[in-house]
């Protein structure tokens, strides 16, 4: 039996094929990536930040008291290049245990919070997921290899445009980004198997309940800035069962929710 090709060999081959215009070789190498269960963006594990990602997973996510155990979530967190989703000046801090500013009074969440929310969402390979608050695009990138489709809404136009460009550049092809008010959801793409929100309203927006499948999961922070909790909801018979799981602090949801009006 021949030895499997290493990631380094694959990346080297990709570079050589591009340099010499060897389209056939390039396609063969992409097939090899697929056979190994890798995607083009997953090869980012060979970059200079790979060791920092591994350390992040071991010291921030697996450590006692946090105990992230979902194998798919841990794999995604170890492979998604968080440094690509923060401003250049913040990249040296990308894998530290805290949130970072991304402009427009918004932040990229702490890695542990991203992993925790993703695990609580209980992602499945066939899921269609709605994300409220694209932000940097990092949460959508973590979800991308775990589900079938991600629909993400960002109310701050420059952030949404930047996230969309970064997600496309990095190869997260099953993520769609829309500029708009997350309170209203994405009705024409509904129903969704799961919904995740990365900004905090004080109540669950009714349109999100309507767009969630029966049996679906909703992970959302609720409450005023000084007293927020992350809640996990499950829709059963048109009603929501809820569980408070973690005290958190997210930026507030803006748009329609501030006027207290349903669409």
Q: Kindly state whether residue 45 falls inside one of the protein's structural domains.
A: no
Which residue, 253, 247, 159, is CA-closest to 199? 253
| Residue 34 domain boundaries | 7-38
Per-residue pLDDT at 259: 63
Q: Judge whether 109 counts as a catalytic residue.
A: yes
Do residue 23 and residue 57 come from a single domain? no
**Rounded to whole angstroms, how far apart are CA atoms 94 and 96?**
6
List for the chain the helix, strand, coil content (%; round to 5): 45, 25, 35
When pLDDT is averaged across residues 12-23 and rounded to a whole number, the result is: 38
Q: How many domains does the chain have?
A: 2
Task: Give yes or no for a contact between 230 and 219, defined as CB atoms under 8 angstroms apart.
Answer: yes
Do residue 30 and residue 159 come from a single domain? no
Do residue 86 and residue 212 come from a single domain? yes
Do residue 85 and residue 22 come from a single domain? no
Per-residue pLDDT at 24: 40
Q: Kindly state whether residue 44 falls inside one of the protein's structural domains.
A: no
Do residue 11 and residue 101 come from a single domain? no
**Confidence bin at 113 (pLDDT 50/70/90):** very high
Task: Give yes or no for a contact between 106 and 165, defined as CB atoms under 8 angstroms apart.
Answer: no
Q: Residue 60 pLDDT > 80, yes or no? A: yes
Q: What is the pLDDT of residues 216-243, one digit of tens each?
A: 999 999 998 788 999 999 999 988 999 9
Do residue 136 and residue 226 come from a single domain? yes
Q: Kindly state whether residue 2 falls inside one of the protein's structural domains.
A: no
Widest Cα–Cα separation across the chain = 65
Q: Kindly state whether residue 1 falls inside one of the protein's structural domains.
A: no
pLDDT > 90 fraction of the chain, expressed in percent and rounded? 72
Per-residue pLDDT at 225: 79
Q: What is the pLDDT of residues 167-206, one digit of tens each?
A: 999 999 999 999 999 999 999 999 999 999 999 999 999 9
CATH number of 228's domain: 3.40.50.150
Of the candidates 17, 43, 109, 152, the residue annotated as catalytic is: 109
Q: Kindly state whether residue 43 falls inside one of the protein's structural domains.
A: no
Per-residue pLDDT at 160: 97
Name the β-bridge partners of 240.
235
Beta strand 228-236 with 212-222 is antiparallel
Which 3 state secondary structure label does DSSP give 118?
helix
Do residue 31 and residue 56 come from a single domain? no
Query: 169: Cβ–Cβ under 8 A, 6 or more apart, which residues?
Result: none
Do residue 84 and residue 171 come from a single domain? yes
């Amino acid at each position: 039996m021949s030895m499997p090709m290493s990631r380094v060999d694959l990346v080297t081959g990709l570079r050589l094929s591009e340099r010499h215009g060897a389209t056939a070789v390039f396609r063969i190498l992409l097939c090899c990536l697929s056979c190994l269960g890798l995607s083009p963006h997953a090869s980012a594990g060979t970059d200079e930040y790979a060791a920092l990602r591994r350390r992040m997973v071991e010291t921030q996510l697996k450590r006692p008291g946090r105990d992230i155990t979902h194998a798919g979530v841990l794999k995604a967190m170890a492979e998604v290049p968080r440094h690509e989703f923060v401003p250049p000046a913040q990249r040296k801090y990308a894998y530290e245990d805290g949130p970072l500013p991304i402009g427009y009074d918004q932040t990229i969440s702490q890695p542990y919070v991203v992993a925790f929310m993703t695990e609580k969402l209980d992602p499945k390979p066939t899921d269609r997921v709605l994300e409220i608050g694209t932000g940097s695009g990092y949460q959508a990138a973590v979800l991308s290899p775990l589900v079938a489709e991600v629909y993400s809404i960002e109310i701050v136009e420059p952030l949404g445009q930047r996230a969309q460009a970064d997600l496309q550049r990095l190869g997260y092809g099953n993520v769609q980004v829309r500029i708009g008010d997350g309170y209203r959801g994405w009705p024409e793409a509904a129903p969704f198997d799961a919904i995740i929100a990365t900004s905090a309203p004080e109540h669950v927006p009714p349109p999100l309940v309507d767009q969630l499948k029966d049996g679906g999961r909703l992970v959302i922070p609720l409450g005023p800035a000084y007293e927020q909790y992350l809640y996990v909801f499950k829709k059963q018979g048109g009603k929501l069962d809820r569980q408070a799981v973690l005290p958190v602090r997210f930026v507030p949801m803006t748009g329609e929710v501030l006027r207290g009006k349903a669409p």
